[in-house]
């Protein structure tokens, strides 16, 4: 299981300009041929994540667990619909202000989740965003802070922790490797650690991609810390080579 932004690719000022290296896609496809589950758990809408990563054989859980798209599916399955799914979008529609553009706040429409980005803006912009967050909470929305991003979410959603539960439910999977870099990934890592403590998982490795903007709690609980997405992709590539070699009967190094 892997996050996308900040994990499979570098964080950039504009989310639409982020690029996942081709070798990551190729390695994920190879792993999908040999493992019970390969999945990306991301804040992006699941079809957007699939197009961005480019691996057709894996599962994408998007919008922090609000939608998923599996291999062979043309459209995502959405787990929240109706008025609740429109609450954050309606809040943006009713409260959008021309000053947001002046303050370099960029709104990303992710369906049930609306994301406000301010990477590259001045420090005063964060004060403006905190005011928006207070207003959104008063309107009944949940707020979640990430790396220079505020997400406005429907209330009560479990986020990536819930996505982990959905992905593992009924699979019998006992070994998981998970990688991430942000607070939402810490939520997923905590859920996985809980499953391991309860005995549902026998083997768990949590990989954290280090960042000055990332949560220290994720670094503290990680089994392995890497400096950048490229190092995580190196590990995926190595694992893909090992599992494909093992299935072909090629002796593997210890």
- Residue 250 — pLDDT band, cuts 50, 70, 90? low
Identical fold between 15-79+158-247 and 83-153: no
Predicted pLDDT at 185 = 95
Q: Where is 69: in which H helix or E strand?
A: strand 67-69
Backbone angles phi, psi at 205, to 5 degrees: -125, 125
- Residue 252 — pLDDT band, cuts 50, 70, 90? low
CATH number belonging to domain 83-153: 3.30.70.1020
Residue boundaries of the structural domains of the chain: 15-79+158-247, 83-153
Task: Kindly state which CATH superfamily the domain 15-79+158-247 is placed in.
Answer: HAD superfamily/HAD-like (3.40.50.1000)
- In 75-202, which ranges are E strands? 77-78, 106-110, 113-117, 142-146, 149-153, 175-180
Predicted pLDDT at 248 = 61
Tell me the sheet residues that pair with 205: 177
pLDDT digits (tens, 9 = 90+) for 160-209: 999 999 999 999 999 999 999 998 899 999 999 999 999 999 999 999 99
Cα–Cα distance for residue pair 47/128, rounded to 1 Å: 31
């Amino acid at each position: 299981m892997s996050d996308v932004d900040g994990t499979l690719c570098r964080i950039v000022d504009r989310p639409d300009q982020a690029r996942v290296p081709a070798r990551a896609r190729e390695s994920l496809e190879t792993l999908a041929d040999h493992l019970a589950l390969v999945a990306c758990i991301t804040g992006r809408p699941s079809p957007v994540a699939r197009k961005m990563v480019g691996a057709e054989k894996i599962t994408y859980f998007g919008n922090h667990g609000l939608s998923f798209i599996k291999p062979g599916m043309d459209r995502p399955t959405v787990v929240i619909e109706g008025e609740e799914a429109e609450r954050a979008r309606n809040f943006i529609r009713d409260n959008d202000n021309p000053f947001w553009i002046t303050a370099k706040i960029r709104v990303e429409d992710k369906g049930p989740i609306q994301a406000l980005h301010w990477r590259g803006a001045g420090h005063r912009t964060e004060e403006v965003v905190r005011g928006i967050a207070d207003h959104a909470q008063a309107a009944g929305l949940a707020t979640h802070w990430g790396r220079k991003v505020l997400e406005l979410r429907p209330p009560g959603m479990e986020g990536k922790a819930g996505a982990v539960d959905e992905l593992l439910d009924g699979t019998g999977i006992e070994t998981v490797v998970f990688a991430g870099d942000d607070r939402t990934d810490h939520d997923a890592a905590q859920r996985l650690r809980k499953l391991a403590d309860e005995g549902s998982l026998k083997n768990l490795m949590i990989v954290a991609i280090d960042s000055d903007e990332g949560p220290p709690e994720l670094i503290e609980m990680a089994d392995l810390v890497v400096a950048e997405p490229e190092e995580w992709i190196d590990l995926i590539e190595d694992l893909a080579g090992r599992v494909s070699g093992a299935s072909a009967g090629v002796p593997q190094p210890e």
